[in-house]
Amino acid sequence: MSRFYWVRHGPTHAKSMVGWSDIPADLSDEARLARLADHLPGNALLISSDLSRARATADAIIGARERLPDDRDLREIHFGAWEMQAFEAFPDQKLLRAFWEMPGDIRPPGGESWHEIALRVALATNRLRSTYPGRDIVLVAHMGVILTQVQAALGISAYEAFAHRIDNLSVTELHWAGQGWKMQAINHLP
């Protein structure tokens, strides 16, 4: 059995849509990072998105775990022209609402759709699962990335997946026993 421990990176304190923008995480809560590191299996492999907020979080919790190279496919959804914009600043509120209320093929201008990020992350997890069969893997990534896995494990719609909260420095645990992902925990805060 493979066990994947999805960790959302430390907080950025941004008040806008942050996807591929490379902004740092606030990792000042050392006690919380220590609790998180202690909660995760010590013999797990550790991988992160290539964005600095995920990389720095992974480095803060690595301990004795083996670090795999950063994976660009674990990046947050690409918001394109919406990147770093506040919700109320969008000129096309109808398209913005449709993106969140009917996630699927709708994409921000120059960005990617929900289906595109879900496929990108599924390919990355399948690659990791087949390369490291039966291993525990800690994956430090982003809210949208983790929600794609919640959707896949629970067999729910993207809209239903959006109802799940994924806090910074939380753990969402999924197990693979050969017949698909089984949800063990969503948004656990050690």
Per-residue pLDDT averaged across 70-75, rounded? 98
The domain in which residue 156 lies consists of: 2-188
Write down the pLDDT at residue 72.
98
Write down the pLDDT at residue 166.
98
Which CATH number covers residue 136? 3.40.50.1240
Per-residue pLDDT averaged across 40-46, rounded? 98
For the chain, what's the residue count?
Answer: 190
Q: How many domains does the chain have?
A: 1
Whole-model pTM?
0.95
**Residue 179 pLDDT > 90, yes or no?**
no
- Average of per-residue pLDDT values in the chain: 95
Q: How confident is the model at residue 6 (pLDDT cuts 50, 70, 90)?
A: very high
* CA distance linking residue 178 with residue 19, whole number of Å: 32
